[in-house]
Structure 1
Amino acid sequence: MPARGCCVSDPTFGGTRALVIDGNPSMRRATVLQLRDLGIGQVRQSKGLADARFSLEQMDFDFVLCADVIEGSELTGQSLLEELRREAILPYGTVFVMIATEATYVKVVEAAEAALDCFVLRPYRVAELAERLRAARRRKRELSPVFDAIAKPDLPLAIERCLLRYQGKMPYAVHCARMAAELQLKTGQVGQALSLFQQLVQETKLPWARLGVARAQMAAGDPGAARKQVEQLIKQQPMMAEAYDVLARVQVDQGELRAALRTCHSVSEITPGCMLRLQQAGTLAFYLNDRELAVEMLDRAVALGARSRLFDAFTLMLLALLRADMGDMRRLTLMHGALKQYRGWHPGSKRLQRFERGAGALRALLGQQLDEAQTEVLALGATAADEDFDLEAANVVLALWVRLPERDVGAGAQDQIVRQIAMRFCISKSISDILVASARQHPVITPLIRSCQAEVTLVAEEALRLAMQQQQPAAVRLLIDQGASTRNARLIEMAGLLMHRHRSHLPDCDAWLAEATALHQRYCRPITHIAGMRRSGRQAGGLLLRGQAFGPATDPDPMAGAPDTTPADDARSGPQAPPDTPPPANVRPDLAEPDAGSMLMAASAVQGAEAMPG
C-alpha cells in the first residue's frame, strides 16, 4: 500500500478536484486520504471503469489518478485514457496520473507511448506524488499559449507557436512538433504534415510518428503507401491498437470489408473493454452477415454501458435486426423498448425516430403483422428524398426492405426506392459495397445498386470529357442538373470544382456557383462513418487535441454537436441501471461521437520522457 506519511496541506492544490479510479478498496481509500492531506478537498472515487467514465462525463477534474490494472475489469487504465481522449471527454487542463504496481520495460514504454501526464510507481511517498502533480500542472501552464490559440480558434497561430518551440528545442519540443503535424493535417496542409512526421520518425523512431506518416499518406490520396507503412508497423508493434484502427480504415476505403473485419476483431481482442472498437467490429460483422460475431461484439458494447456518451444507438438498431433474423421476439422487444425510451428522452431526433420505427416494423414482421410491417418500411423509404436522409438511414431502409416477404413487396415500389437511394449515395465503390451488404446481396436489389453506381460514374466521366473538349459550360450544367435530380454528393462537388477551375470560361459562373453551393449545403453533409469506421472527431491514430467544450445542440440529429454537460440528479453507474432510468442530461444516445465541426482540437497529454518516473 502506498505510504501515506506526513504531508502539510499544500496551497497549490486548494480548490481543486480529483477522481481516484482503483478496484482495490484499501488502495483506493489510501490514495483518497493522501490527496486530502495535500489539500484537495473534493475527491471522488470510482471502483470500476463504468463509474469512472460516467463521472468524467459529468464534471471536469483537475486530477485523475487511475490504477494501471483495474480489478474486475477488462479495460486497463491506459485503454480508458485512450478512449476518453478519442471522444474528447478529458479536458486539456486535467492531469491524468497512472499508478502502477510494477515498472517493467513494457509498462514504461506503454506509458511513454500514451503520453501520460504523470506515471507513479507504488509504493511512493506523498511528497513525491505532490511534486509530480505540481510538475504536471507546470507543463500544462507552459504549453497554454498553444492551447489558447487552438481555443480561439486560430489554428495557424497554434501551428506557428508549436513549430517555434520545436525549432527552438524548448521543453516539450517533440510533443509540440506532433501537435503541429496534427493541426496541419486538420487544416489541409498535408504535405507539410507528412514532412514533419517523417522528420519526427528520423529523430525519435517512435511508433506514433510512423503512424502519423501513414495517416498523412492517406490524406494525400496514397492509400497504398499508407497501408504498406501501417502493416509494417503492426508487424513490429503487434500490440499497438491504433495502428489496427488505421489499417481497418484503409481496408474499408478500399472495399476490403472482410479484411477490415479481421483487423477490427483483432484489435478488439487487444483492447476488449473498448466500446468503440466493439461497435466497429460488430457493425462490420453485421454487414458481412457474420451473425454470431456481430451479436457477440454488439452485446458486449451494450454491457459496457449503454448510457455512456461513447455508446451509439445504432448498436441497438443492429441488434434489433439480428434478433429478428434469429426469431427472438423477446430480445427484439427489449431492443425496441430501449430505442423507444431513447426517443422519449430526445424527441427531436429524427435518427432515433427512424430506429424506433424500424424496430417496430421488425416486431410486426416477426408477429406476422405483415401489412403493418410493410406500411412502416414503405413510410421510412418515402423519406429517402429528405435532406437529412443520410447513408446510415439508407442502410437501415435497405436492411428492413430485404427482410419483407417478397410476395408482399411490389416490384415498382422496390425499384423506385432502391434506385432513389443508390443514385444518391453511390459516390464511391466502398459506399456502394456497404449498400449492397445492407441489402444482404439481394439478387434483385444488388444489380440495381451496381447499375446506379455505373450510371453515376458515366455522368462524371461525361462531364470530364466535355471539360477536356473545352465545353466547360455543358460539363458544369450536366453536373448541376444531375446532382439536383439525384442529390448525389459526388456530382454536386464535381460541379463546384469545375467551376472554380474554369471560372473564366463560364459566363454564368456566379449564378451557377450559387446554385451548386445551395445544393452542397442541402445534400453534401459529411459522412460520419462507413461500416462503423468513424469519419468525425479525431482521426484514427491521431493525437486528440481539445480546446473547447461542446456547445448546445439546437437540433438533436445525427449531425449535431453534443449538448452542454450537466450533472444528472438520479444518475446510476454502469450498465446495471434499469430501463426506466432517465439518461443523464449530457448523454446523447443518438450520437456515436460529436461531429468534427462541433469541437476543436486540443491536447490531453504531454509527450513522453518528461512524464517518466525519475
Structure 2
Amino acid sequence: MSEELSQAHVLVADDAPTVRQSIRMTLAQSGINRADTASSIGETRRRLRNGQFDVVLCDYHFGEGMNGQELLEELRHSGELPLYTIWIMITAEASYEKVVAVAEIGPDDYLIKPFTSKQLTQRLSLAWSRKRFLKPIYDKINEGDTLGAIAEAKALVPKAAGFSNDLMRLLSSLLLEAGKLEEAAKLYADILSQRIVPWAKLGLAKTLSRQGKKTQAESTLQAAIVEHGQYVDAYEELASMYMAEGRLNEAMAVFEKCLALTPNNVSRLQKAGNLANMLGDSGKAKQFLERAVTCGGNSSLLSGDTVLQLALAARRENNSSDTDKYLRMVREIARREDSTVNRIIDLLATAVYEGKPQLLEQIESYMSNPEFILEIAVSFIMTADLICPATVEGEQASGSTAPYKWLLHIAQRFITTRHISGMLESSANMRPAWQSFIQQAGVEINDLNNEGVQLMLKSQFADAIAILLPAAQSTYNQRLMLSSSHAIIKYLKSDAQVERKEREALLKQAYQFIGRLEGMIDVATFHSLNTELQGLLGGE
C-alpha cells in the first residue's frame, strides 16, 4: 500500500455496529487508521456533506428504504460526491454483480462479505491508482472545462493500459456532453464492435436521440432492456424520450417497470409522481411522491415542489394535519439554499398557508425567468385554484387582471403542444372558465407561430420576423423563439443589405433566444442553429 493511501480518510457506512467495528479493524490491519462511521443513509449523507473523505466503504443493504446503490446514484447526480472519492460497495449478496454490471453510475469496486484485509487492500490500491490516473481529466471537469477534459482524456489513451475501459467510458460521455455527436457515436460504435457493454449501448442511444434519430435511439434502448432486464438507466432514458414526444402513458409504463427495480430512487419517484399528475392520476402521484419524501429525508434531490404537490393534495382532501406538515417541510427545503426556484416555492407555500392569493403577485415578476419551468407553472396554477376566490358564473376573463393575467402569461410561455395545454388546463381543476382561457391562449400562440412559418416558407423573412419576434420577446415561448431564430438567420443570410444597426440587434436577439433554447430542443437542431448563428457572428 502506498504511503498516500495509508493517510486516506475513510467513511464506513453500515447499519450494523459490529460490522462497522469489524471493517475499522480490517482497515487498521491494512495500515489505514483515519476512519469515521455512519449508521444510516441519512447520516451518510450528512457526513459526506460536512466532511471530506477519500474513500467510502458502504453497505449495499440498510434494511427498509434506500440502499447503498441508490444513495451512490443520488450523490453523483447531485454533485455532492467528489469525482476523486473512491466508493466501494460492501454486500453479502453475490447477485450484486448483476446490479453493478448494468449501473450507469456504479461504485469503483465492490467486496462480497466476508473479506480479508488483503482483499480490501488490493481493491483499494487498484481504485486509488485508477483515480490518480484519471485525475487530470477530473481536474478539468471540476473547472467546468469540458473541452479541456476531452483533450486530457485523449492524451491519456496511449498510457491507459489496465484503465482503458474506464477512460473510454469517461471520454465518450464527455464527447456526448460537449455536443460532439459524430465523434461520440463513432467511439460508442467502436466499443460495441469489440464487446457488448450496457453503458456503451445506452450512450449510443443518447447520441442517436440528440442527433434527431429517434427511431434508432428507441430501438437501441429497447434492445438494451431486452439484453439486460435490470438496466434501470436505459428504462429511464426511454421514459424521458417518450415524455419529450408526448407519449405520456408509455412513459408511465416504463417508469413503473423502472421503479419495480429501484423502488426507493428519489429522483425517479419524483419524475413518476409528476408524470402521474400530468396524466390526472392524483392517487398514483400521491403514492410516488409520498415515497419520495419518505426515502428522501435530507436528500438534496428532494424537491420542494414535490412536497408542495403533497401539501396541495392534502389541502384538497381537507387534511389540515398533513397540509401543515408538508408546508413546513416545503419551507424548510426552500430555505436551505437561496435560488429563484426556492423563492417561488416558498412564496407558493406561504400563500397556501396564509390563504392569501395576493402573495401570488410577487411571483409574477419571475414568470419570464428560465428557472420558472413548466412543473413550477403547474404548481402555481394548482395553488391559485385552491386559494383564489371561487369563479363567478359569467365573470369576465381579462388578461390584464388577476388571476387571468397569470394564466395568460403561463399559457403563452409554455404551450407548444396540445398535451402541454391539456396539462395546464387540468391544473385548473374544476374551473371551466380558467381552462377555456388557457386553451384559447394556446390556440392563439399556435396560430401566430404557424402564420410566421408560412411566411418563411414563402421566403418572406422580414414579414415573418415582424410577426414572430415581438411575440417571442414578450412570451419566451419555445416554439416562437425557435421560429424567430430561424427567421432571423434566414433573413440575414438572404439579404446582405440589412443596415448594420438592425443586423446587430437581430443577431443579439437570436443569440439570446438560442442560448435559452439550449436543453429545450434536440441537440441536432440546437447545434445546427448555433453553427449558423456563429457563422453570421463571425462575419461581424
Please, which runs of 5 or more residues in structure 1 have no aligned partner?
1-8, 365-371, 536-614
Equivalent residue, structure 1, for 2:116: 125
Distance 1:75 1:381 in 2: 38
Please, which runs of 5 or more residues in structure 2 have no aligned partner?
523-540
- Counterpart of 1:136 (choices 127, 139, 154) is 127
**Which one has a larger percent helix, Structure 1 or Structure 2?**
2
Q: Which fold has the larger relative contact order, with Cα–Cα distance below 8 Å and residues 6 or more apart in sequence? A: 1
Distance 1:180 1:429 in 2: 39
- Counterpart of 2:397 (choices 408, 411, 422) is 411
Equivalent residue, structure 1, for 2:11: 19
SS in 1 for 2:36: strand
Equivalent residue, structure 2, for 1:65: 57
Distance 1:486 1:417 in 2: 12
- Counterpart of 2:382 (choices 399, 403, 406) is 399
Q: Say whether 1:84 aligns with 2:75.
A: yes
Distance 1:109 1:232 in 2: 17
Amino acid at match of 1:25: P
TM-score (normalizing by structure 2) = 0.84
Equivalent residue, structure 1, for 2:46: 54
Equivalent residue, structure 2, for 1:453: 442
Conserved 8 A contact 2:160-2:167: no
Conserved 8 A contact 2:368-2:475: no
Equivalent residue, structure 2, for 1:239: 230
Deviation at 1:133? 1.1
Larger deviation, residues 77-86 vs 319-328:
77-86
Distance 1:463 1:298 in 2: 41
SS in 2 for 1:89: coil
Equivalent residue, structure 1, for 2:280: 289
SS in 2 for 1:73: coil
Cα 1:150–1:407 change in 2 (3 A) is: same
Alignment coverage as a number of residue pairs = 512
Conserved 8 A contact 2:485-2:510: no
Percent of aligned pairs with the same amino acid: 25
Deviation at 1:246? 0.6
Conserved 8 A contact 1:165-1:173: no
TM-score (normalizing by structure 1) = 0.75
How is 1:263-412 mapped onto 2 (pairs within 5 angstroms)? 263-342=254-333, 346=337, 348-363=338-353, 373-377=356-360, 380=363, 384=367, 389-403=372-386, 404=388, 405-407=390-392, 411-412=397-398
Cα 1:149–1:446 change in 2 (3 A) is: same
Deviation at 1:252? 1.0
Q: Say whether 1:217 aligns with 2:208.
A: yes
Cα 1:269–1:31 change in 2 (3 A) is: same
Alignment deviations for residues 25-64 of structure 1 (CA, whole Å, 9 cap, x no partner): 2121110122234343331111222211222222221111
Distance 2:509 2:343 in 1: 27
SS in 1 for 2:10: strand
Alignment deviations for residues 462-514 of structure 1 (CA, whole Å, 9 cap, x no partner): 33333343332332333222212333243234333443444241504654553
SS in 2 for 1:499: helix
Deviation at 1:363? 4.6
Cα 1:345–1:175 change in 2 (3 A) is: closer
Deviation at 1:276? 1.1
CA RMSD of aligned residues (A): 3.3
Larger deviation, residues 314-323 vs 122-131:
122-131
Deviation at 1:314? 0.7
Conserved 8 A contact 2:10-2:54: yes
Distance 1:220 1:476 in 2: 28
SS in 1 for 2:243: helix
Alignment deviations for residues 546-565 of structure 1 (CA, whole Å, 9 cap, x no partner): xxxxxxxxxxxxxxxxxxxx
SS in 2 for 1:351: helix
Cα 1:86–1:259 change in 2 (3 A) is: same
Conserved 8 A contact 2:137-2:152: yes
